[in-house]
Amino acid sequence: MLADGMHYEGLIIRPPSEANSILLQVTLGCSHNKCTFCGSYKDKRFAIKDDETILSDIVFASKYMKNQHRVFLMDGDALIIPQRRLVWILDRIREHLPWVRRVGTYANAKSIRMKSDDELLELREKGLGIVYLGVESGDNETLRKIRKGTSAENLVKQGKRVKNAGIKLSVTVLLGIAGEESSLRHAQATGRLLSEMQPDYVGALTVMILPNTPLAEDVKAGHFKLMGQRKLLMELREMFRCTDMKGLFMANHASNYLPIKARMPKDKEKVLALIDSALRGEVALKPEWMRAL
């Protein structure tokens, strides 16, 4: 908890693009919380915060955060909040923070599916401007192994529903999550998914092993082997090659060895050439000690 102010519990996680946003914690943890690679919310049992606490935080923000023009709803999946309560939260934001231009939230395929098309439209009208969706892979076998709880087909369907409601869609994909044997299949399937879904933004991260996860146990047991720099670059190249979209494709997260930012489709050939230069050893890669989540 912030002294005399916001009520924060546990680890605070938000997208890099929400660094300057008002961080409003309306849920604790993640409603799914089963992904093998994710250790973000292992210390929290999922719950929706009470209205009194949420309103208190909004009122605090109205007094002390007047220079911040965006709100990000935490924790891992605020879209799962029942429609009536979520609309109430958005109304209170509009009432007390009239200068806020956009509200964002994490979501998963289940929480999007639970909203009707009309409900998604209502959320957009109430100020929800962007949804962050963890896709990770377009390969169904990989999604099954990492316990994502959905299929590539459903991810595409739900992502399109967000877009059709007029809400911006930002998705994340994970380099290296399929392992070396399935790398090519993962890269190509993910490129096809992104091409079909047509998100506004794509963020490609590189898998990193967290000690409190099932994936860490698989690594220790020898069931999962991390890929080296060169093979990760080859996977990124193939994924990027197979992606045809209009929007931003970014792989500039701190976990990545080669930062790229491409406005698609115009930057596609330029970025492919950059990756090829890196594969030839002509471009310096980020040293291991500088990588982070």
pLDDT in tens, 190-199: 999 999 999 9
All residues at 6 or more sequence positions from 169 whose CB lies less than 8 Å from its CB, including other chains:
130, 131, 133, 159, 162, 163, 197, 199, 200, 201
Assigned domain for 138 exists: yes
Assigned domain for 109 exists: yes
Strands annotated E in 75-225: 102-107, 128-136, 168-175, 201-206
What range defines the domain where residue 108 resides? 16-290
Residues 84 and 243: their CA atoms lie apart, in Å, by 37
The pLDDT value given to residue 4:
65
Give the Å distances, CA to CA, from 143 to 78, 83, 122, 174.
22, 28, 31, 11
Residues 266 and 12: their CA atoms lie apart, in Å, by 36
Assigned domain for 11 exists: no
Query: For residue 215, what is the domain's CATH number?
Result: 3.20.20.70
Assigned domain for 79 exists: yes
Give the Å distances, CA to CA, from 185 to 46, 176, 180, 191, 244.
34, 12, 10, 10, 17
Domain count, the chain: 1
Based on the number of CB atoms within 10 Å of its own CB, is 193 exposed (0-12), middle (13-18) or buried (19 or more)? buried
pTM, rounded to two decimals? 0.94
Assigned domain for 6 exists: no
Beta-bridge partners for 132 = 106, 170
Give the Å distances, CA to CA, from 166 to 103, 106, 119, 176, 205.
13, 16, 12, 32, 26
Assigned domain for 169 exists: yes
> Residues 43-81: pLDDT tens digits?
788 999 999 999 999 999 999 999 999 999 999 889 999
> Residues 192-230: pLDDT tens digits?
999 999 999 999 999 999 998 999 999 999 999 999 999
Assigned domain for 4 exists: no
Assigned domain for 9 exists: no
